[in-house]
Structure 1
């Protein structure tokens, strides 16, 4: 029997134990699973063409030897094999290839192979996520076959496109819009169509990118159309249950003189969200939808690797998806300053609460990636939660590594991409710094601090406008998701501040510090801005757009 059939037979305890039993492990039991699966992966990985290439002919026999002999890797190490989809060079034959963006115009996409074993683990962990998101305690599951699912995540060939396919094998969810229809639509069209269907039929489960759910939430009142002919038209399209909720919501909101909220109309069983900056969106989502969002972590290369428990107090990494290593923050920063420095890594049983770590993964079950730097930073917030839901380390997602600026999970901006557009703009720019910052609504954006050469000072305002136009055209051309930030989410992802001439050079001479071009430390950036404010304005003006 599949998951849905067992739900119908009320086998809640058995389902909970099968899919969520990993939460009851202690760290020693967890590491036994990690080491056993990693030992299996080492055996198949070192014997394939990719393994022989990256190991340079070395033959480690244990997990410890593998960690010593195998260098840390990035996608550049795999590109020649994976971009050509050379399955004959991999540990196991892939059954599907997924893709994601890489570095804009220079490297448009990354591809990643998935084996049948990886998909089986993915499915198991996806059902664990579904179980936890629809539970308010151990063994309590409110899901049912036929539940209506609003799906606000990307389709295949992106990793989240696996969700509907794997759900089909386990439970009869009704997706809004239907999966076959959704594949023919753009991301924006799918979101609007699905929400329109949800307004008419109801929504039981909502999977989505946090920034997209937040945008729908903020614009709910206007999308709702609760008055006039538009409201009557929507009412006629509703099921009897939704029509009743519709009318009651209109009455209560007028009585209380307040704007309508999603919780006035929908009674969600489950709200699952993913993506960069989720932490900044979750409080508002809970207030609007009347349910706590369950945060998960998934990616093209690492697969589905982590979920919050039903207590929503941090994420736990699934023990069977990847073998996890962690680079301490100070080691990561030292490596950023000196790329030749090889950072040390810790295992799951060595992480310390209240410390940040860059994640390193080896994908299990025949995966291609070994000791792979995903580019994500997590913070360990504790070891267990006093036995309430787990005894394992709990994590929160912090952000991408400092050399990448990820805006709302849509677009990734690197030093190279900014440097290229600055060069092709033709503007006389002496120095620039890029920093990810947040507006008054906690929405992320790229803040570019620019110092122009003296010859351009009299044209400061014009230069800023030209630079902003060049950047937006460049990012839109090489990353279509950048435009969606403005059209879909109402986010202006770029702000430019002009620094006074000589600020960066003077700051370096005064402090002896050289700031990173991408995401410089906040305290050092504040020092720079303070130094800038103390400089004489001169005959030219500084500005901000």
Structure 2
């Protein structure tokens, strides 16, 4: 029921508008079972009249990359109404089409009339608009649902490339759905019937990090305050095994109700992972979200990144960057200066580090092209689970950094 409600919200424009039809085509770009996304996909395939691309039975036998590739191939032939997946996948697919690599990969499929017709129409649209080919030229999506910490980073880009804003959903394998946006695409509304929700105030969370035996007090959903951050604690309903389980996520309460839609439940946004914090001399703490947003705002043409605090006489935040194939045109010092300036604008505490300590802590190290892909290939060959294929964006280990630095540039 909740998944069906999500499909309704991502496709409707106002109260009472239901645009989901039987056999609507959904490209399901999330993790397979036993992750909650895959389990929900199985249930939805059984109970809802939607057609998944590729079909769930077929998809479960594929790797994540194979499933996404096959899903888009089917979407080119059969069409696509809804995308449910990770925002970065949408951006990566759009980038391939914009550079022409996506179109080249379709050449073997052009013998199929439906694909040839769709692609021809899309290329004509882009030519008339005098811009590169975009996914919105290929598909007129009814809705996009995203589940990932990068939704806030990419939502404007997704709307530009795909023609729809992504509906943000907050869920976890241990907790099922926790919150989701409605059709106004503002804060996420808590879904209170999957778990009993408790919240550790940020000040108590910080004390708990310093004193692991401290018994931090919690507040309930009707006791949270607008503008404050909290760590989420869940106890499963419906026979789930988790009791007073700390998810390790920090969320921010944006308001106590949705005034415009008359929803009398607190509204939230995802802030960061509780352990995804780079401390800078006790003055500032950089999160994954802040660094990611600074990279986007600075216009760096990057493929992927990771960052950590490194032990030096002065506090240093080392940002390891792999640029896209054509590069960026700027050297490490220039890239560091551009990202540093955006961090100053996004985080007042970070700006104070320079103002009060006369320090610019950000340093950039460029990685070889293909470094992250080589790491993923090594992890896959070692049998790593999907969640551990990519390096973490924040605080990677020495071993991960050494692997990235020692990668072999592709020939």
Q: 1:199 aligns with which of 69, 72, 76?
A: 76
Change in CA separation of 1:140 and 1:363 when aligned onto 2, cut-off 3 Å: same
Query: Counterpart of 1:161 in 2: which secondary structure?
Result: helix
1:134 paired residue number: 11
CA contact (8 A) 2:195 2:234 kept: yes
1:452 shift after superposition: 5.6
1:445 shift after superposition: 3.7
1:223 shift after superposition: 4.6
Q: 1:530 aligns with which of 331, 338, 358?
A: 358
1:313 aligns with 2:199: no
1:298 paired residue number: 171
1:277 aligns with 2:150: yes
The number of residue pairs the alignment matches comes to 333
Distance 2:169 2:364 in 1: 40
Query: Counterpart of 1:374 in 2: which secondary structure?
Result: strand
1:404 aligns with 2:276: yes
1:342 paired residue number: 215
1:325 paired residue number: 198
CA contact (8 A) 2:353 2:360 kept: no
- The structure that is helix-richer by fraction is 1
1:244 shift after superposition: 4.4
Distance 2:215 2:17 in 1: 46
1:441 aligns with 2:296: yes
Distance 1:162 1:486 in 2: 34
Q: 2:257 aligns with which of 365, 384, 396?
A: 384
1:163 shift after superposition: 2.4
Change in CA separation of 1:526 and 1:435 when aligned onto 2, cut-off 3 Å: farther
Q: 1:236 aligns with which of 95, 111, 120?
A: 111
CA contact (8 A) 1:277 1:399 kept: no
Q: 2:237 aligns with which of 352, 364, 367?
A: 364
Change in CA separation of 1:345 and 1:172 when aligned onto 2, cut-off 3 Å: same
Structure 1: give runs of 5+ residues left out of the alignment. Answer: 1-123, 406-413, 416-432, 454-463, 469-484, 491-495, 498-520, 534-541
2:372 paired residue number: none
TM-score by length of 1: 0.54
Q: Name which one, 1 or 2, has greater alpha-carbon Rg.
A: 1
CA contact (8 A) 1:309 1:389 kept: no
CA contact (8 A) 1:155 1:162 kept: yes
Query: Counterpart of 1:360 in 2: which secondary structure?
Result: strand
Q: 1:286 aligns with which of 159, 164, 171?
A: 159
1:164 shift after superposition: 2.2
1:383 shift after superposition: 2.2
Change in CA separation of 1:522 and 1:434 when aligned onto 2, cut-off 3 Å: closer
1:450 paired residue number: 310
1:398 shift after superposition: 0.9
Distance 1:399 1:543 in 2: 22
- Give CA deviations for 1:57-76 in whole Å, capped at 9, x if unaligned: xxxxxxxxxxxxxxxxxxxx
Query: Counterpart of 2:258 in 1: which secondary structure?
Result: coil
Structure 2: give runs of 5+ residues left out of the alignment. Answer: 280-284, 327-331, 334-348, 367-411
